[in-house]
Chain A
Amino acid sequence: MKALDRITAAWIVTVLLVFPIAILLGILMRLNQANVLELSSLTFYSFMTAHGLLMVGIWFTMSMAGVSYLLQRYVEVKVWPVTLGYVLTLVGVVLLLAAIFLGDFHTGWYFLYPLPFYARTEQWATTAFLLSLGSLGVGWTVWVLGLLVAILRKYSLSQALAWQHLVGKQEPETPPFILITTTTLLGLVPAFIAAVVLLVLFFIEHLSGVKQDALLMKNLTFYFGHTLVNEMLYFGIATLYELFPSFAGKPPYKTKPFVAAAWNLVLLVVWTAYFHHLYMDFVQPTVVQYIGQLASWIAPIPAVAVTTFSVLATVYRSGMKWWLAPTFFFTGVMFWIIGGLGAILDAIVANNFVLHNTLWVPGHFHTYNLLGNVLFSLGFITWFVREKSGDDSSRLYRPVATLYLLGGTGFVLAFFIAGSASVMRRVDKYPHLVSSGSFWALIGAIFALFVLTAVLFYVFHAVRRCWRVLVGSS
């Protein structure tokens, strides 16, 4: 059994065990908003903080784990950066959960400066939280750099970015998987640097009391946070490019000039799209707000015209044999662009003026995460399970796909409808002002229970098989 198989199985087992717990935290939050439960405010916001950080953490790392595994088809992948990433992620998560559940750290995933210094939190919990982010940051940076080095040992940077294909040359060939993985890894490097600067500035204030600039801190926070989530999706797309054609019995995708152009454009655009998080900060330079809207609208065009079109063209009249993995990828692409539609409507400054920080926002990011990015990773996991155990999860196909997709659709629709009725996000109880919020919270919770049921079935199935890979009995 290869070491990369084992560490991939370890990632899968860990992620799949945390996933239902994180979903449960979300359901408890929605039930509290629906007045079915009575959580204290501190408990609610602690759940909110844990839910956000766990979900981003597990699915970012799972998408990285999937890419790391598939990358060995093209280059030699060292196992140690993946393992170090795993160990430091575990350390970070333990510190994080201690800070949240023992120290009442409850600032939300984005710990927006200077809230950590004003929240009713144990002093040590703020330190533990910042150390936890440090551990995650070091682990993920080493992992990202490890993969980049592995690629650049075989391909020059211009080849990895497929610039030769941009000018119409056929050789040397850069597979789309290498191109997308490289642009995604490169996109993450400055985001991690921003996170380091952010953490250092937090520590300076924490230790010396020197105040920081709130606008700078907000820019750093969202540059890092938005880019991380955006790139996580692109790792999922890289996995899709690598696996999806084979499900339809078709040859691998090729890097045509428009594919190369699209992903090089995405690399640039992704760095400026985060500005849409600061539209309602009118002191932000206005030119930046224009760039934010334009970048947010340009970013999805290559995604739709290249990736979505390619997936549809692959499936069209293909005689495809549908099983859980291709179904996850196919529906994941559909919900990815539906979530993207919700996002770009909100990325119009004039719309954001009435939608910012309403439930419209969790509406669109749950659509392209829960029903998009997570499905890409579940598609990879399902494929991995079949590769290692021979089981194609056929017994699970109908119940899991139906419950997950039906539940997910109802769950996100409740967010969108409530958001359009001005129901705000990130509140433990809805004020009378937006009394419909409780109703939509209940609807959301009921549909989320369908998702949880599907996930539990799936986890029971996949974890057992991956555990055998992990302990070497498969």
Chain B
Amino acid sequence: MSQSTVLTLFLLGTAIIAIVFWWVWRSSYQTASQSVEPLRRWVFIGLLVFAGIFTGLTLSRMPYFLYADEMPARVVHVVARQFAFAISERPIENDADYAAALGQTVELPVGQVVEFRVTSFDVNHGFALYAPHGRIVAQVQAMPGYINRLRWRFDQPGEYIAQCLEYCGAAHAGMHARFVVK
């Protein structure tokens, strides 16, 4: 679901909830008692059906299995460390590799699957991919001692920003890297 769709659904749901509460509040100025208890069962069933369908449909869209049956065209290694990302097509296993990769601008192919292997050399960081239109298209965490694998296919060429999205210390806001998709 895109961010705009989520916002629209949220505002729609909020409006419905607010209208129901407003309507009930207005009714409280009357005293003609009327039991609404029989409605409870239908509310419960309705919610169960809605939740079942909605969550069931979305469960199949887990990001863990994105492009799982395709061979990635590129494998990109990402190491986060306060307060910069090293991104390279070569493995980054130590401080020397990290220093060598720092500041390199990686070029990635448009329309092909890329696998990011993301880890951290110090604290937890986030690795969020901002597309040229300024919105997040994908993200994963960078955790020390673990490698998170994120597969993604860039459909739009341009300059992308990888931004740290997990608070990692005083200079967290400026922790980002650029790469080009063409």
Residues of chain A having any CB pair with chain B under 8 Å: 41-42, 45, 106-108, 112-115, 118-120, 213-215, 218, 248, 258, 280-283, 286, 289-290, 293-294, 297-298, 301, 304-305, 309, 312-313, 315-320, 322, 330-331, 333-334, 337-338, 341-342, 345-346, 348-351, 353-358, 360, 416-417, 419-422, 424, 426-431, 433-434
B115-153 toward A: CB 8 Å interface, digit per residue (1/0)? 000000011101010100011111111011111111000
Contact status A431-B176, CB under 8 Å: yes
Contact status B146-A283, CB under 8 Å: yes
With both chains docked as a complex, state the minimum distance between the C-beta of A221 and any C-beta of chain B, in angstroms: 10
Q: How far is the CA of A294 from the CA of B172 in the complex (A)?
A: 32
Residues in A neighbouring B7, C-beta threshold 8 A: 416-417, 420
Residues of chain B having any CB pair with chain A under 8 Å: 1-4, 6-7, 9-10, 13-14, 17-18, 20-21, 24-25, 27-37, 39-40, 43-44, 47-48, 51, 54-55, 58-59, 61-64, 82, 122-124, 126, 128, 130, 134-141, 143-150, 161, 163, 165-174, 176
Contact status A281-B27, CB under 8 Å: no
B64 partner, pick from A112, A282, A298, beta carbons under 8 A: A282
Q: How far is the CA of A305 from the CA of B140 in the complex (A)?
A: 35
Residue of A nearest to B81 (CB): A118
Known: A114-B123, A342-B10, A350-B63. A119 touches B134 (CB 8 A): no
Contact status B136-A318, CB under 8 Å: no
20 contacts between A and B (CB under 8 A): A115-B123, A118-B123, A215-B143, A248-B28, A258-B40, A282-B141, A290-B59, A319-B31, A320-B28, A338-B18, A341-B13, A346-B6, A348-B1, A355-B136, A357-B128, A358-B165, A422-B130, A422-B134, A426-B172, A429-B173
Interface contacts beyond A355-B136, A422-B136: sample of 14 additional A-B pairs, CB < 8 Å, sorted by A: A112-B167, A258-B44, A281-B146, A297-B51, A301-B44, A316-B24, A319-B29, A319-B31, A334-B18, A341-B14, A357-B128, A357-B139, A421-B134, A426-B172
Residues in B neighbouring A431, C-beta threshold 8 A: 163, 173-174, 176
Contact status A118-B122, CB under 8 Å: yes
Known: A214-B146, A280-B140, A317-B31. A430 touches B173 (CB 8 A): yes
Residues in B neighbouring A353, C-beta threshold 8 A: 63, 138-139
Known: A294-B55, A316-B28. A281 touches B148 (CB 8 A): yes
Contact status B43-A356, CB under 8 Å: no
With both chains docked as a complex, state the minimum distance between the C-beta of B53 and any C-beta of chain A, in angstroms: 11
Known: A301-B44, A422-B130. A433 touches B176 (CB 8 A): yes
Contact status B30-A317, CB under 8 Å: yes
Residue of B nearest to A426 (CB): B167
With both chains docked as a complex, state the minimum distance between the C-beta of B135 and any C-beta of chain A, in angstroms: 5
Residues in A neighbouring B135, C-beta threshold 8 A: 354, 421-422
Contact status A315-B59, CB under 8 Å: no
Known: A283-B148, A312-B24. A349 touches B63 (CB 8 A): yes
Residues in B neighbouring A354, C-beta threshold 8 A: 2-3, 135-139
Q: How far is the CA of A265 from the CA of B40 in the complex (A)?
A: 18
B58 partner, pick from A113, A312, A349, A420, beta carbons under 8 A: A349
Q: How far is the CA of A41 from the CA of B166 in the complex (A)?
A: 16
With both chains docked as a complex, state the minimum distance between the C-beta of A307 and any C-beta of chain B, in angstroms: 11
Residue of A nearest to B30 (CB): A317
B163 partner, pick from A346, A428, A433, beta carbons under 8 A: A433
**Interface on chain A toward B: helix, strand, loop, or mixed SS?**
helix
With both chains docked as a complex, state the minimum distance between the C-beta of A187 and any C-beta of chain B, in angstroms: 21
A301 partner, pick from B3, B51, B128, beta carbons under 8 A: B51
Q: How far is the CA of A416 from the CA of B3 in the complex (A)?
A: 10
Contact status B169-A120, CB under 8 Å: yes
A319 partner, pick from B30, B35, B136, B147, beta carbons under 8 A: B30
Contact status B150-A282, CB under 8 Å: yes
Residues in B neighbouring A119, C-beta threshold 8 A: 169-170
Residues in A neighbouring B174, C-beta threshold 8 A: 431
Residues in A neighbouring B28, C-beta threshold 8 A: 248, 315-320, 322
Q: How far is the CA of A118 from the CA of B21 in the complex (A)?
A: 48
Contact status A357-B165, CB under 8 Å: yes
Contact status B62-A289, CB under 8 Å: yes
Residues in B neighbouring A317, C-beta threshold 8 A: 27-28, 30-34
Q: How far is the CA of A118 from the CA of B134 in the complex (A)?
A: 31
Contact status A115-B124, CB under 8 Å: yes
With both chains docked as a complex, state the minimum distance between the C-beta of B143 and any C-beta of chain A, in angstroms: 5
Known: A280-B140, A433-B163. A293 touches B55 (CB 8 A): yes
B3 partner, pick from A213, A420, A433, beta carbons under 8 A: A420
Contact status A313-B36, CB under 8 Å: yes
Residues in A neighbouring B139, C-beta threshold 8 A: 280, 353-354, 356-357
Residue of B nearest to A290 (CB): B59
Contact status A45-B44, CB under 8 Å: no
Known: A112-B166, A112-B167, A280-B139. A428 touches B173 (CB 8 A): yes
Contact status A316-B36, CB under 8 Å: yes
Contact status A214-B124, CB under 8 Å: yes
Residue of B nearest to A428 (CB): B173
A338 partner, pick from B17, B35, B149, B170, beta carbons under 8 A: B17
Contact status B3-A214, CB under 8 Å: no
Q: How far is the CA of A337 from the CA of B13 in the complex (A)?
A: 10
Query: Which 4 pairs across A and B sit closest by C-beta, in order of nearness?
Result: A319-B31, A427-B173, A420-B7, A305-B44
Residue of A nearest to B146 (CB): A283
Residues in A neighbouring B3, C-beta threshold 8 A: 354-355, 419-422
Contact status A313-B55, CB under 8 Å: no
Q: How far is the CA of A312 from the CA of B17 in the complex (A)?
A: 11
Q: Most chain-A CB neighbours within 10 Å: which of B20, B33, B36, B173?
A: B173
Residue of B nearest to A435 (CB): B134
With both chains docked as a complex, state the minimum distance between the C-beta of B121 and any C-beta of chain A, in angstroms: 10
Residues in B neighbouring A427, C-beta threshold 8 A: 172-173
With both chains docked as a complex, state the minimum distance between the C-beta of B45 and any C-beta of chain A, in angstroms: 9
Contact status A304-B134, CB under 8 Å: no
Residues in A neighbouring B59, C-beta threshold 8 A: 290, 293-294, 349
Q: How far is the CA of A119 from the CA of B47 in the complex (A)?
A: 45
